[in-house]
Amino acid sequence: MSPMPSTTPAKHRRPGTHPAALGEETPLGRKRRARRINRTLAEAFPDAHAELDFSNALELLVATVLSAQTTDARVNMVTPELFAKYPTAEAYARANQGDIEAIIRSAGFYRSKAKNLIGLGQKLVADYGGEVPEALEDLVTLPGVGRKTAHVVRGNAFGLPGLTVDTHFQRLTKRLMLTEDTDPVKIERAVAELIEPAEWTMFSHRIIFQGRRVCRARKPACGVCPIAFDCPSFGAGPTGPEAADLIKGEVRL
């Protein structure tokens, strides 16, 4: 889908002059800026959501495990067949690894992912009555499930607030200078201090949408970025209207 054209240029400062870039931002200023960024992104991406297709907690858990090292779009191509064939934890527990591999091959790392899905089904059956647990400390004991996957499941299947620190979230929090931390768990803790808990799940979706569509790893579209005014890294990419060509997907500017 092509980007919606902007009628008014995004507000921004001269590159390098943001107080955060100059080391002059107070902790309160950072918190206010983070919350303003969240509000601005809510307007830019009113439909921000998990981009994996699922209809229950088990499907989301499986899709998130499959999404390691690949795109959500690719996962969404293989999951309809997988979910139809393996509708329960018991079905994964009893599955033949080669059968799962054949279905998920195009999602990459299919051997280890198939093995994880069987192990995941077995552990859900053995320890959780075949149900997906809600607690973070339980979820991270499942094969192939780390904190990021656990938060995706908690936030989107159970409505429990969580910050999903994926590669986009890490890049964005660095460019936005919301934290100096580089370790995902420390990033999660630092951002949790800035953003209201009730907003954690949606803030994660919005930041990931921004990372996929506007502030991509190479050539961020600074010139048309909705949060340019609040970004200390404004100027990391082209700053003129030609930046619109770098946007992928739809953004309300």
Shortest distance in whole angstroms from residue 236 CB to ligand SF4: 4
Task: Judge whether 225 is annotated as a binding position.
Answer: yes
Note the residues at the interface with ligand SF4 (CB under 6 A): 175, 214-215, 220-222, 225, 227-228, 231, 233-234, 236-237
Q: Cβ of residue 185: shortest distance to ligand SF4, in angstroms? A: 23
Q: Is 174 within any annotated ligand binding site?
A: no
Nearer to ligand SF4 among residue 36 and residue 94 (C-beta): 36
Evaluate whether 49 touches 249 at the Cβ level (below 8 Å): no
60/190 with CB nearer ligand SF4: 190
Residue 31 assigned to a binding site: no
- Report the residue number, 107 or 231, with the smaller CB distance to ligand SF4: 231
215 is an annotated ligand-binding site residue: yes
List the catalytic residues: 148, 166
Q: Residue 220 CB, nearest distance to ligand SF4 (Å)?
A: 3
- Binding residues for [4Fe-4S] cluster are 215, 222, 225, 231
